[in-house]
Structure 1
């Protein structure tokens, strides 16, 4: 197998340990890795030292150094779609590594779920890859154009594509994103048609599907993340539906997903404007004049707070800075004229 077809580039060889071959992880199950190498597919065990060096271990899409039947190292990741692991934890979970495009998948069946798309876009922007919104089940939508326009107006700077895995409409536009050696990761909640889209792009059954419910929504089908080779030379990571998509600690992704809100905030009179009742607040003025949807502003504030809290959990320096800010605030309040001491 040609490594270039798997996304390998010659500059990665610098990080490859001596005596090792490169391989790309296509699936992780029960501590075992399915890896594609120039010699074909192999089942490997990750070396014990690998988990110590990389919390969470290898992820689908990673390039690993292969020696005999072991994966002894993970090569540096170029990009990674990362969320906070589900449950009561602050640990990062890499959903897919070394992807060029993140396909944020949602369905045209039913009302647009803008807040959900915004959350996925915030994480997708943080990955370092290019996000694209793919709206499936166009065959179940009575008026596709306005439905796509509604999402496109909200997904600033992001291409929005409508597709039908049943009729094939729109699939060529998705295929055009994936040339030979380019990798896309599909992310989205259960039931939006990711598995059907994966099968349609692959031209064969690579993912299980479930029948559509009476309300037009699908059911959870994919149970594990897996990388598939596509006929035109691209690669596609199919992921299970996510009940939780917790932001990790990247405020930049939130800023890019809500570029309109952050752009307005720059024009506020005060640098530390809380966007509530402060005079000269450009955000409040935009809401009052109908230029900014209040629900979008609330969602921005919520995701900003979530990312900030997560950063405080994982970053000791950020926690120290936060405590210093609080101490300075308390000192300034105590120094106010007429304040009881």
Structure 2
């Protein structure tokens, strides 16, 4: 059993990470922005004792020292999984609403650990394919993305629009964390987890279909008939199921060989057209789905970048779920929220 601090506990990914931490017998304190969120999570885990699951309120992760209190625990923490970071494009000030929370949130948790939690040996940080991809290259069919790739985005480009701002926020935050380890030489290692689009079942106690995580909105929209006339373009052609991603976070604190490594966590390629076809096959009664001849949402004719996920498979021992299983389970989770 490991004593773990999990940040951003009410997030889509963190909710699944919490399930697996408890399943694996770890003892968890999770940070949330409000007592109301803590109560919802607690209600959803009625069998977890206070020793197994408790909460720390961190209202604003973008404040310096935001985690100073949360990181102090009795018994002391041995690992931290940091998932808290904004992911949405509904912003008016990229610096304040995307870059600062991501970068300050990540570095402040590392500073707090170094200052007040010498017992912590492993830190896992949720980064993103956004910190790997070179968007200026487009679909780049002759390139294979790996952990060695870094998004070359500049600060100036980051401020141009929210999409750039998001990609930059993940890149700058991850770079800041590796820089921190290099310069500060703390007595913990870090592992970064870099997923592309994260699909998969929603956690019923945190979600309505109106407040869905950004990645799953495409599945909801197709399911709700919004793609009947035209399937939206796919955009990013790589995906991972949230349950596999959550398992990677937990394995990264459990597997010794994961220390000081980046993990490009992807199950492979997908398209919005494939999502529509799976929903049609599994839920034929659904109204308003696109037909086989509906245009849009397919792979680009000139091909798309490849990927190498061998490190995740080899070091963390992950067998990825299929797109079919993921979409089937996601729609089922939507139905349980609607019911």
Query: Structure 2 length normalisation: TM-score?
Result: 0.28
**Which structure is higher in strand share?**
1
Query: Structure 1 length normalisation: TM-score?
Result: 0.27
Larger Rg: 1
